Copies of this chain bind each other. A is one copy, B any other.
Amino acid sequence: MTIKHALPVTRAQDFAAWYQAVIAEADMAEDSGVRGCMVIRPWGWGIWERMQRLLDDQIKATGHENCYFPLFIPLSYFEKEAEHVEGFAKEMAVVTHHRLKAVNGKLVVDPEARLEEPLVVRPTSETVIGAAFSRWVQSWRDLPVLINQWANVVRWEMRTRMFLRTAEFLWQEGHTAHATEAEAREETLRMLEVYRRFAEEAVAMPVIAGEKPENERFPGAVATYSIEAMMQDGKALQAGTSHFLGTTFSKAQNIRFQSADGQLELAQTTSWGVSTRMVGGLIMTHGDDDGLRVPPRLAPWQVVIVPMLRDGPEDAAVLDYCRTLAAELQAQSAFGEPLRATVDARPAKASNKRWAWVKKGAPLIVEVGPRDMAGGNVSVIRRDRLYGEGGKLASAVRPRADFVAEAASLLEEIQAGLFAEAKARLDAGIRRDVGDFAGLEAAFADSETMPGWVEVEWCKPTGDALDKVDQRLKALKLTLRNVDMNAAPATGSCIFTGAPAVERVLVGRSY
């Protein structure tokens, strides 16, 4: 029996169209009418809010404090750090005026309200935060400075795609200053590890944590690390980055301190960020042809109860049964927090509501009709095991008390199952048997199969030699991803130059 899936397009048919369909059908986000900006709807926002909460807890647990810095950065701040400008200067939103006026009933920009110095809408905040650090840091006693902000940033992207690349996006950006390079490098890796754990434990999205090659570094960074996740089409998504900035920004912004032995020294800084792009990663990791599947830790509602109402006299009793059930579930603890359960009592057909929650990916959907109520039962649909034998929707009748008692462990099982499924796909999707460039070409020649990534040995070229490698890869629509911290040591020769290899680097298509 062929299953008639809930989405109008399947992953196999057209992955890009499927991605847009999930976002629309799961009520995650929509076009705003403002170029490159989206409206994040309650279900999408609820997931981001959960991500924020869990990641923020980890950022605080590692000793960081939240602050807030201005949205606008004066143009001159960008001139101080040449390499940073080069990387960002090109596409930024610039505020040039501070007033509108009405002319013949039309609103226009008032030419008399031109700003003396244009203000850039922050694309990232190293410059303005560096200026604050230079005020805050005088002595070694003031270090380390460990701060973070949750903010919106704008990069004027030409081609946008919801959650993955939008003109305005939301993120956290951590910024720290340290007395020594060793401490700053340790911080950079600490936050990379916080991101790895967050991606794997909260988002159930397995990642490869490693250092980016030189050409993929953040503008101004000495070293950039990333977590890279494999989407279901085999492409890589850079889902978080952590940068060791050395003294690049402390030189530009004059972040100096008197050391314990009286010397004036430059601070060593880091920055690191995770954005709403993570929501796109979640969709492309866990979505299926029926919509989204939200990992229970992040689901705004972990259990959704749908009463089967028939506009009849027993409706009130069914609703009451559902509400009591929700209260019983809310008294349970899942993942160390109160379980999040709700009753969907909106005026709509129960089957429409069921499918709406399937598409949104609520982990457990519980249907309750008069018959369930009479038997003291509930009918439970697991979003991660939607179809049973013969392709029929799998709904299990369970005694209500039993379901309440087992709901938390079901959610934990679903969380673990989603991770295991994605981990198996990642592991199977990385080839390590390619020994030369021809082999790499061959690996990506067949566009019919999921290409995944290839881990190859290389000599870690820099400068022009690296540019050459980059161009050869670009011709195959490939990019260097990162060097897995846990990669095996190199034993052979560089597939690009034939020189002795020094490490293994991941190559793949990417978002």
List A residues at the B interface (Cβ < 8 Å). 30, 32-34, 37-42, 45-46, 48-49, 65-76, 78-79, 85, 89-102, 106-107, 109, 118-121, 128, 131-132, 135, 141, 147, 151-152, 154, 156, 167-168, 170, 346-348
Contacts and interface: CB of A to CB of B under 8 A. Distances in A.
Contact of A71 (B41, B76, B168): B168
Contacts of A92: 98-100
Contacts of A154: 71
Given A85-B107, A95-B96, 14 more contacts: A32-B128, A33-B128, A34-B72, A49-B66, A70-B168, A71-B168, A72-B93, A90-B100, A92-B100, A94-B96, A94-B97, A94-B100, A95-B121, A96-B96
Task: Indicate how many identical chains form the complex.
Answer: 2
Contact of A67 (B39, B71, B93, B170): B39
Contacts of A152: 71, 151-152
A65 B67 CA distance: 25
B70 A32 contact: yes
Contacts of A346: 141
Contact of A37 (B38, B72, B90, B94): B72
Nearest to A90: B99
Given A37-B72, A70-B32, A347-B141, A99 B91 contact: yes
Contacts of A85: 100, 102, 107
Contact of A119 (B42, B79, B93): B93
Of A48, A69, A85, A93, which is in contact with the most chain B CB atoms at under 10 Å from its CB?
A93
A440 to B, nearest CB: 36
A131 B34 CA distance: 11
B156 A99 contact: yes
Contacts of A37: 70-72
Contacts of A128: 32-34
Given A39-B69, A71-B168, A74-B34, A89 B102 contact: yes
Contacts of A109: 75, 94, 96, 118
Contacts of A96: 94-97, 109
Contacts of A106: 79
